[in-house]
């Protein structure tokens, strides 16, 4: 096998008091040693050394010996003072002595290739680093600790068991009367498998919403204050507001956390009949955004009817939850106590995006409609589109098995579908030989040093 190169990269963002530089590979210790004034070549794993890099900095070095390191290779981490200049100089010294700068995610990719973690765990590392709230943190932690992998392993064992039952059947196939004897148990196990796979695949909707924010589209006629509401919810001047109708023409979106839940608000072009080609394109985008949203804030104001949302209905597509909101209540309702009273009486929520009145009621409604499932560390939630896709393929395999069982087809044909299913599940953890292209796709989104 080709000898691995030794790689290095900054592991921390600039701007802190301390920066960490990570080195991994067979020559990690000897290359690092070359730039220090003290000798650490014989350093044991899990030891710290205070050393000098002449003319550059005094640093603390941690040494890890293979296989007991993040990557499974010899690793050295240099903690230096957090100056961009110092980091750059150390990296240059290391590269001059034979290191190569790491590509994004290369440390984690090596950890995967050296069997330190499977692919779902490697992906969870990236999710953990980018997690912004309790829910996404919990999901990433559970996945990184192998929660999802264990679930998949359970499924794999169940499928193997099913296959062995079918094979047993084949062994007796010479005896005509036994061949398709009693398949009740096989059918039961198969539908159990299907249920499990389906519930995992369904968890993706929640998982994705938690990770990327629950999509909420703001839909309404021109000028009712959609962009003003977006800005108020984001507490930021994100979208242009004007008294001219048709100001917003494209989708404008951003995420914000409300009581620990991430929402992704999408401001849209006001819906009306228009001959303006570009505005029309914007309106089509509004409809699409509303269809794909989990919640739609249907916005209007006194005297203007709510837009017709029958267009949102589409076969095979769940309707988003609708919250009807009347804006500009500062123009029509005198004070906020009266306002609160009205809310209780009336289904529509009255707000003023301008003064902020009623916004709390709107966010309460959003949280209520978001129906965020409570996630504990043991729950397995699918958050990754790649995993979801593989699960969808595995479900198709098991559906085929179900049909084949119903048609009383011979066991070897059914076993073939089960083998496909195992293959699709194995792709999730990277258990089978995973193509380089897939790996590249996964790790390219990591940052350097991870
Ligand atoms: N009095 C009052 N005026 C508001 C309120 N919200 C928005 N406006 C005003 O209404 C006008 C239109 O606001 P926008 O937020 O641009 O409306 P929009 O729905 O995004 O309009 P389009 O992008 O054209 O569809 C602006 O002049 C806002 O200042 C409110 O709560 N009270
Ligand atoms: Mg607008």
105 within ligand 1 shell (Cβ under 6 A): no
Supply φ then ψ for residue 38, to 5 degrees. Answer: -105, 155
Q: For residue 333, which ligand has an atom nearest its CA?
A: 1
Residue 37 · residue 51 · CB < 8 Å:
yes
Q: Which CATH number fits domain 126-208+384-429: 1.20.1260.10, 1.20.120.430, 1.10.287.610, 1.10.10.10?
A: 1.20.120.430
Calculate the dihedral angle through the C-alpha atoms of 201, 206, 212, 215, rounding to the nearest 10 degrees. 120
Number of neighbouring beta carbons within 10 Å of residue 446: 21
Q: Are strands 214-220 and 252-258 parallel, antiparallel or unpaired?
A: unpaired
| CA dist 291 → 201, 266, 285, 336, 374 (Å) | 21, 12, 10, 33, 25
Q: Would you state the structure tokens that stand for residue 222, as one six-digit string? A: 């021109």
Is 227 near ligand 1, meaning CB less than 6 Å away?
Answer: yes
pLDDT of residue 345: 46
Does the beta carbon of 354 sit less than 6 angstroms from any atom of ligand 1? yes
Rg (C-alpha) for the chain, rounded Å, is 29
Residue 81 CA to residue 95 CA, distance in Å, equals 19
**pTM of the predicted model, to two decimals?**
0.70
- Tell whether ligand 1 has an atom less than 6 A from the beta carbon of residue 328: yes
Does ligand 1 lie within 6 Å of residue 301's CB atom? no
233: phi > 0 → left, psi -120 to 50 → alpha, else beta; which? alpha
Q: From CA 308, how far away is CA 323, in angstroms rounded? A: 14
Listed in sequence order, the residues at least 6 apart from 295 whose beta carbon sits closer than 8 Å to its beta carbon are 214, 215, 216, 217, 320, 321, 322, 323, 366, 369, 370
- Which atom of ligand 1 sits closest to the CA of residue 228? 15
Residue 228 beta carbon below 6 angstroms from any ligand 1 atom: yes
Q: Quickly count: other Cβ atoms within 10 Å of residue 334's Cβ.
A: 9
Atom number of ligand 1 nearest to Cα 220: 19
Enumerate the domain spans of the chain: 7-118, 126-208+384-429, 213-370
Taking CA atoms only, the protein residue closest to ligand 1 atom 8 is 225
Q: Is the CB of 286 under 6 A from ligand 1?
A: no
Which of the ligands is closest to the CA of residue 239?
A: 2
> Each residue of 419-434: pLDDT tens digit?
999 999 999 998 766 6
Reported CATH class of domain 7-118: alpha beta
Query: Residue 311, class by beta-carbon neighbours within 10 Å (0-12 exposed, 13-18 middle, 19+ buried)?
Result: exposed
Which ligand is closest to the CA of 223, given by its number?
A: 1
Quick count: other Cβ atoms within 10 Å of Cβ 219?
28
Report pLDDT for 295. Answer: 94
Q: What was the pLDDT predicted at 6? A: 98
Show the DSSP H helices in 67-146 as ranges. 84-96, 106-113, 119-130, 134-144
Which ligand is closest in space to the CA of residue 242?
1
Name the stretches of the chain with pLDDT < 50. 181, 337-338, 341, 344-345
Round to whole Å and give the CA distance between 386 and 171.
Answer: 38
Is the CB of 231 inside a 6 Å radius of any atom of ligand 1? no
Q: Which atom of ligand 1 is nearest to the CA of 246?
A: 24
Pairing state of beta strands 214-220 and 261-267? Answer: parallel
Answer yes or no: is the C-beta of 274 below 6 A from any ligand 1 atom. Answer: no
* C-beta 225 within 6 A of ligand 1: yes
Around ion ligand 2, residues with a beta carbon closer than 5 Å are 226-227, 247-248
Choose which CATH entry (2.60.450.10, 3.90.1410.10, 3.40.50.970, 3.40.50.300) describes domain 213-370: 3.40.50.300
User: Cα(271) to centroid of ligand 2, in Å?
Assistant: 10
Q: What is the pLDDT of residue 273?
A: 86
Whole-Å CA distances, 89 to 3, 96, 208: 26, 11, 41
The confidence score (pLDDT) of residue 344 equals 47
Give the per-residue pLDDT at 338.
46
> 326 alpha carbon to ligand 1 midpoint, in Å?
12
Q: Starting from the CA of residue 351, give the closest ligand.
A: 1
Residue 401 Cβ < 6 Å to ligand 1: no
């Amino acid at each position: 096998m080709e000898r691995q190169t030794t790689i290095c990269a900054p592991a921390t963002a600039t701007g802190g008091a301390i920066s960490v530089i990570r080195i991994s590979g067979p020559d990690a210790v000897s290359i690092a040693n070359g730039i220090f004034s003290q000798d650490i070549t014989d350093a044991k794993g899990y030891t710290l050394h205070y050393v000098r890099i002449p003319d550059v900095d005094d640093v603390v070095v941690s040494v890890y010996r293979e296989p007991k390191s993040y990557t499974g290779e010899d690793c050295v981490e240099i903690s230096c003072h957090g100056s961009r200049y110092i980091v750059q100089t150390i990296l240059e010294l290391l590269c001059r002595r034979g290191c190569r700068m790491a590509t994004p995610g290369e440390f984690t990719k090596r950890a995967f290739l050296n069997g330190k973690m499977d692919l779902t765990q490697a992906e969870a590392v990236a999710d953990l680093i980018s997690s912004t709230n309790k829910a996404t943190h919990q999901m990433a932690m559970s996945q990184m600790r192998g929660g999802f992998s264990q679930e998949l392993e359970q499924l794999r064992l169940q499928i193997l068991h099913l296959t062995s039952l079918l094979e047993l059947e084949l062994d007796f196939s010479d005896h005509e009367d036994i061949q398709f004897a009693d398949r009740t148990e096989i059918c039961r196990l198969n539908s159990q498998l299907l249920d499990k796979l389906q519930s995992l695949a369904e968890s993706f909707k929640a998982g994705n919403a938690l990770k990327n924010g629950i999509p909420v589209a703001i839909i309404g006629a021109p000028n009712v204050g959609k962009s003003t509401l977006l800005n108020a919810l984001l507490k930021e001047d994100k979208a242009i507001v004007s008294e001219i109708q048709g100001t917003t023409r494209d989708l404008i979106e951003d995420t914000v956390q409300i009581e620990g839940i991430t929402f992704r608000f999408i401001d849209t072009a006001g819906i009306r009949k228009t001959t303006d080609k570009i505005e029309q394109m914007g309106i089509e985008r509004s409809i699409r955004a509303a269809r794909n949203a989990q919640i739609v804030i249907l916005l209007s104001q006194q005297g203007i009817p709510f837009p017709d949302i029958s267009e949102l209905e589409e076969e095979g597509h769940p309707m988003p939850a609708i919250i009807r909101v009347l804006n500009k209540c500062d123009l029509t309702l005198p004070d906020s106590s009266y306002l609160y009273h009205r809310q209780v009486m009336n289904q529509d929520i009255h707000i003023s995006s301008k003064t902020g009145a009623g916004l709390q009621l709107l966010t309460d409604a959003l949280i209520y409609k978001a129906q965020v499932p409570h996630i504990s560390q043991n729950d397995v939630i699918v958050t990754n589109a790649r995993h979801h896709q593989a699960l969808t393929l595995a479900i198709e395999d098991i559906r085929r098995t179900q049909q084949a069982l119903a048609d009383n087809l011979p066991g070897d044909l059914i076993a073939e579908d089960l083998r496909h299913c195992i293959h699709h599940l194995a792709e999730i953890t990277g258990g089978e030989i995973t193509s380089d292209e897939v790996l590249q796709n996964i790790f390219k989104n990591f940052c350097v040093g991870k």
